[in-house]
Amino acid sequence: FFFFFFFFQAEDGIRDFCLSRGLGDVYKRQEYYRGVLTALREAGIEPYVNLYHNDMPAVLFVEGNGRMDPEFPMHFRYYADVCFQYFGELVKYWFTFDEPWCQSAQGLYEAHERNTKPYMIGYQMILAHAEAVDVYRQKYEEQQGKIGINLNIEMFWPNNTASAADKEAARRNLMFQVGWFWNPIMTGDYPEVMKSIVKTRLPAFSDEQKKKVKGSADFLALNHYFSWVTSDGYNRSVNTYNADVNATNGRKPEWKRSNIGFSIVPEGMYDALKFVHETWMKDSSIPIFITENGVSIEEKEREKGLNDTERVDFMASYMRGIEKAISEGIKVTKYFAWSLMDNFEWGKGFTGKFGLIRVEFDNNYKRIPKSSLRWYSQLIKDSEL
């Protein structure tokens, strides 16, 4: 039950390496993973470990109710405790969950569950996150590490910039996405707009839970790929999470798209960071990490795949948005490119090519550096960013 993804940030080459792992028989596998982490450190690579990346062990569904199980937060606490115990002296940066919004809002639900179950799963994941942070801070302070959470953020702009309703719909989208999980960590409770719309379908935090959730992050990790224009109103009559958000999202015709349909809008990076900063971080010392950012391009032909100038252009333009944010005092301290190598991209399978290293799956998994890898490595060596 282990799933891996790799991306990196570096100061003078490949220096940071991110590893996602799920619950499994860590008692049998601990030496293997200690070996991996030790090898990374010996090579001068800082490992960043993600505890959960959508890889729930089947036993928790068979013998329980998965993330809906009331015991899930404590299961996660125990699992995190084991990881901290075995690997904590080798790992100084931990992420509890990767993109809990995707795992909550985009789940496959029965019709009668679509406006309730997403919120229950989100609630459970927030509590599980807080439990992992709590046990880390209580028992492993001497490891001197940091712990946070990865949240995906898309940028939403009003389709009609003169429409107050569209402006509110854009903000509502952001609060229902990143605010759903970050607002409790910063304030102890959900965003007011969620509470006012979802009402009793939104599981309430007890006073004790609010106390444990609030402040449960040493950093905010954001994954950003694409953006939308949004209009107020949702044209489906079925009661769903999307009906609660009550917004219809689209793309401007002039926007470029990747080969898997992601809109390429560099200004989305800066505006997303600015929204997060102004909403939650103005008076906070918590840093922001960009833990996923990249583009998939068509690479059927080897020569085109290796000379991936489109990816270089994408990364450079999105990084300019980060540079602008930093110049305005927004505390972005780390950037990770998605991804080190071509891999299995969820519903897109092997058609999504995000890697800085080409993997030829039909040629014994041969790995060949692309132009983007050389460009990025040189950028890191030459730049403060």
Catalytic residues: 99, 292
Distance, in Å, from the CA atom of 44 to the CA atom of 59, rounded to the nearest integer, reads 37
Q: Which residues pair with 157 in a beta bridge?
A: 229
Distance, in Å, from the CA atom of 285 to the CA atom of 208, rounded to the nearest integer, reads 25
Residues 6+ apart with CB under 8 A from 95: 48, 49, 50, 51, 147, 148, 149, 150, 221, 291
Assigned token pair, 91: 């790992």
Residues 6+ apart with CB under 8 A from 223: 98, 99, 150, 151, 152, 153, 290, 291, 292, 293, 338
Contact 75, 60 (CB under 8 A): yes
Residue 366 CA from chain centroid, whole number:
28
Answer positive or negative: Cα dihedral of 112, 204, 190, 213.
negative
Kind and range of the H or E run holding 46:
strand 46-50
Q: Is the peptide bond before 317 cis (omega within 30 degrees of 0)?
A: no
